[in-house]
Amino acid sequence: MRYFPVIVVGGGLAGLRAAIEVNMHNIQVCVLSRVHPVRSHSLAAQGGINGALGNHARGVYDSPEKHAFDTVKGSDYLGDQDAIIRMCNDAPLRIYEMEHWGCPFSRTSEGKIAQRPFGGAGFPRTAYAEDKTGHVLLHTLYEQIVKFEHSSERADIVVLDEMLVTSLVVDDGRCVGVVALNLKSGQFEAFQSDAVIFATGGSGRIYSNSTNALISTALGIYIPFREGAPLKDMEFIQFHPTTLIGTNILMTEGCRGEGGFLLNNKGERFLANYEDSKNAMEVAPRDIVARNIQREIDAGRGFENSYVHLDIRHLGEKRINERLPGIRELCIKFANIDPVVDPIPVQPGQHYTMGGIDTDINGASEIKGLYAAGECACVSVHGANRLGGNSLLETIVYGAIAGRSCAEYVSSLSKTKIGTEIIEARLRDEERRAKEIVSKDGDYIICDVRDKLAQVMAQKVGLFRSESQLKSALEDIQEAREKFAKVKFNSKSKSLSYNYEFINYLETEANICISEVVVRGAIERRESRGSHFRIDYPKRDDAQFLKHTIARYSKGEISLSYKPVKIVKWEPKERKY
């Protein structure tokens, strides 16, 4: 067994920023990541990061308060306003911090960090690095990790990649460590710690039509959920308006922020025909644009009844190469089209998980010593709908906040380490369970159960929802659970070294449970708010549902309760753009 004062689970932006912050307090920290950190899904973020820098030459003064209001409004007033205000106030500090650490942001002619318009924003406040913003942010943070990985100045940062955490260990309400599978050796390893920060990203792969990486499954939130950490607002799933037809690869909102058009099969900029998008057009919030794209397709005004066109040809080759080179490369490689001369075929696709591990404004969960940050957490700064550019911001702002809060907690503890026996017992349990899993000989193939479930979620729990569809999806989830109990293990090798069938088993188990959480929350929320649109309840209902959904897990059963939204400055009003 190995001991580290703090363990961070996940090597993306939130996890690395949390680890750096813990390390700044001269506390040793270990990052456990299932992939090398620079292969984390944060790498795929394209468009930008929001902050009230005021660098755009539009002549309108921007401020953290305006940023906060736009975020509250974009959340359809479900976001906790104290957390939102804190994030927006910290935004310039964190962006400039990344700049000083060497992040190569795109620049204005004056040399300032360039900013462009994004949906739902009253000011062009999205800083960017071409269309590879997540990529450069992640590499910048990893450089800081390497700098202090073997530091003589302060406690070191230890990074262990190809480590899949399979269990969180809780002793008498206190987090005391984790058990992880070493993917290379195929052996389980126990890690004792005073505190754990989960930063495992979103759960997008519970849907078949997702922009998320294959590693973005529900496992990251399922592990703490089954140990007693509640989840919040899981019914709110964001569908990005523009994903590439056939693959659902993200076509950044930056395409529209730079001036791209959305066109139907008549060549019309159809957003002008909808009351909720006719003013903001292509830079209306994501939930609104996605629904209106789907309405065009459903009305027969799409192409091949499945997509519309995203047209950036009028921007010209020079600007596309300067601002959107990654988009051009993706289109050429994956769709055999060149957006300089061809419109891009796009459709809405699952993109972001607004809900997650319920945390307070300091990133702390209900379990003592367990923290969460980034997409796996729900503080909640996004509420019912996330504005583009706020996810990258949340990772570094709340990564730092969770890291600082965790460091203060660890510093306050006595030096006596606890939980050794329970961690060793959990290690033996994981080893025993793994042997049972790889010996399964049932009637169903694991990936078939997983894929069918993901299709159900896409078809019945998507952009438009109804009670009949949601209840049907719940029945399908129960069927998936019954089949999952009778799966067979095809691999002849019982070794767990890079055993992806075993990993698929763990992920499918998690996906089934978390899909049920999403559906149950969606059934009970009989209103339309942000990304959650009920065709049988098309209006927002503040009297009944201005509240967070809280899901708990106990002995295999899921229960729901609610808690109020924190309103400190702006009272809810009708959301118009």
Task: Give 210's DSSP letter.
Answer: B
**352 touches 214 (CB < 8 A):** no
- 270 vs 293: CA distance, rounded Å: 8
Phi, psi of 154 (to 5 degrees): -155, 180
Give whole-number Cα distances, 127 to 53, 106, 111, 130, 388, in Å. 9, 8, 13, 9, 11
Which distant-in-sequence residues (6+ apart) come within 8 Å of 170 by Cβ? 176, 227, 228, 367, 370
- 325 vs 116: CA distance, rounded Å: 16
Give whole-number Cα distances, 459 to 75, 215, 262, 527, in Å. 24, 22, 24, 20
Which distant-in-sequence residues (6+ apart) come within 8 Å of 20 by Cβ? 141, 144, 145, 148, 157, 400, 403
Task: Give 338's DSSP letter.
Answer: -
Catalytic residue list: 240, 256
**430-434 long-range contacts, Cβ below 8 Å, gap at least 24?**
430/166, 430/167, 430/179, 430/181, 430/188, 431/188, 434/181, 434/188, 434/496, 434/502
Give the residue from 181, 187, 231 showing the smallest Cα distance to 206: 231
Q: At what angle do helices 81-100 and 64-74 cross, to 10 degrees?
A: 130
What one-letter code names the amino acid at 426?
R
Can you read off the two tokens belonging to residue 330? 């993706």
**486 touches 496 (CB < 8 A):** no
Give whole-number Cα distances, 352 to 42, 71, 264, in Å. 12, 16, 25
What one-letter code names the amino acid at 138?
L
* Burial class of 182 by CB neighbour count within 10 A (0 to 12, 13 to 18, 19+): middle
* Burial class of 401 by CB neighbour count within 10 A (0 to 12, 13 to 18, 19+): buried
